[in-house]
């Protein structure tokens, strides 16, 4: 019962953040599962992906009610991601846990920089014309799928800036579309991790209800408040968490 309560809390926090700013919530779930539930890094990534499918479903539904999802852009992002998500998941299974932690830490900091610079980059970079923006989305889908499978995250931190900066999306439309993409992309990555025995099924009983409630709440709150203060809070937490992971050392060094 205690474990279910803890995992529900993790899912609730991750879902709220995901629904609020268009992320899958893996950057919250993964370190908390490793720290609080004591599962290894690779299983945390696989379990996160399994849960993120529900983040995408509920988040996309919530944003869709407000007309803030673009199916054409979602298809351009999701189709190439389906082919690369499985490759990322297989690579994650082969990497030692400490290396995976370092990569994940660097990924967190990189995503934080993107979120931090997003308001400034939007004024510096012009919107690409129709065909060029579709090509940019396809390339982004290839990268996002691989990183999603590898890192166990939804990839919103990559997709949202590209849609806003290069394709001229509003913040809300980019977030809603990113959440929609997470459904098929996360399902492919999660299935690959499941086949590799990297999904902690016992944790899903608390994580899934938490993520559903949190995502629905965060998606609705996103409609009425600005995201700048929340983005700053996210950046601070993500940079701190990322730095801790980058400092992970190999077993040989520990000896």
Residue 234 confidence (pLDDT):
67
Tens of pLDDT along 20-37? 877 778 878 988 998 899
Question: CB-side exposure of 112: number of CA atoms within 13 Å?
Answer: 20
DSSP the chain: -HHHHHHHHHHHHHHHHHHHHT--SHHHHHHHHHHHS---HHHHHHHHHHHHHHHHHHHHHHHHHTT---HHHHHHHHHHHHHHHHHHHHHHHHS-HHHHHHHHHHHHHHHHHHHHHHHHHHHHSPPPPHHHHHHHHHHHHHHHHHHHHHH-S--HHHHHHHHHHTS---HHHHHHHHHHHHHHHHHHHHHHHHHTT---GGGHHHHHHHHHHHHHHHHHHTTTS-SHHHHHHHHHHHHHHHHHHHT---HHHH-
Q: Give the Cα separation of 65 and 93 in Å (integer).
A: 38
**Across 38-42, 82-86, 105-109, 159-163, least confident range:** 105-109
Tens of pLDDT along 192-244? 889 989 899 999 999 999 999 999 999 999 888 775 776 676 677 678 777 87
Residue 112 confidence (pLDDT):
74
141: nearest Cα among 188, 193, 201 = 188
Residue 133 confidence (pLDDT):
87
Tens of pLDDT along 106-147? 877 887 777 677 667 656 666 677 688 899 999 999 988 888
Q: Give the Cα separation of 28 and 17 in Å (integer).
A: 8
Q: Give the Cα separation of 74 and 137 in Å (integer).
A: 9
Tokens found for residue 229: 């203060």
Quick check: 55 pLDDT over 70? Answer: yes
pTM of the predicted structure, to 2 decimals: 0.82
User: What's the average model confidence in pLDDT over 42-68?
Assistant: 92
Percent over 90 (pLDDT), the chain: 37
Residue 254 confidence (pLDDT):
31
Give the burial string for 161-187 (b: 16+ CB within 10 Å, else e).
bbbbbbbebebbbbbbbbbbbbbbbbb
């Amino acid at each position: 019962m205690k474990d279910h309560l803890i995992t529900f809390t993790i899912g609730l926090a991750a879902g709220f953040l995901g629904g609020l700013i268009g992320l899958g919530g893996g950057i919250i779930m993964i370190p908390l599962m490793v720290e609080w539930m004591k599962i290894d890094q690779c299983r945390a990534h696989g379990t996160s992906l399994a849960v993120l499918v529900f983040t995408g479903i509920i988040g996309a539904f919530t944003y869709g009610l407000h007309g803030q999802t673009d199916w054409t852009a979602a298809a351009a992002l999701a189709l190439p991601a389906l082919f690369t998500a499985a490759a990322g998941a297989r690579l994650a299974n082969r990497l030692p846990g400490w290396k995976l932690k370092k990569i994940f830490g660097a990924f967190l900091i990189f995503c934080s920089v993107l979120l931090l610079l997003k308001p400034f980059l939007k004024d510096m970079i012009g919107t690409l014309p129709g065909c060029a923006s579709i090509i940019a989305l396809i390339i982004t889908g290839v990268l996002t799928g691989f990183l999603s499978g590898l890192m166990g995250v939804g990839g919103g931190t990559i997709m949202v800036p590209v849609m806003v900066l290069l394709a001229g999306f509003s913040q809300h439309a980019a977030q809603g579309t990113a959440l929609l993409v997470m459904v098929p992309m996360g399902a492919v990555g999660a299935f690959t991790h499941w086949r590799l025995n990297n999904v902690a099924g016992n944790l899903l009983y608390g994580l899934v209800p938490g993520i559903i409630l949190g995502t629905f709440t965060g998606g609705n709150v996103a409609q009425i408040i600005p995201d700048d203060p929340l983005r700053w809070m996210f950046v601070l937490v993500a940079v701190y968490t990322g730095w801790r992971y980058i400092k992970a050392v190999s077993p040989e060094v520990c000896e």
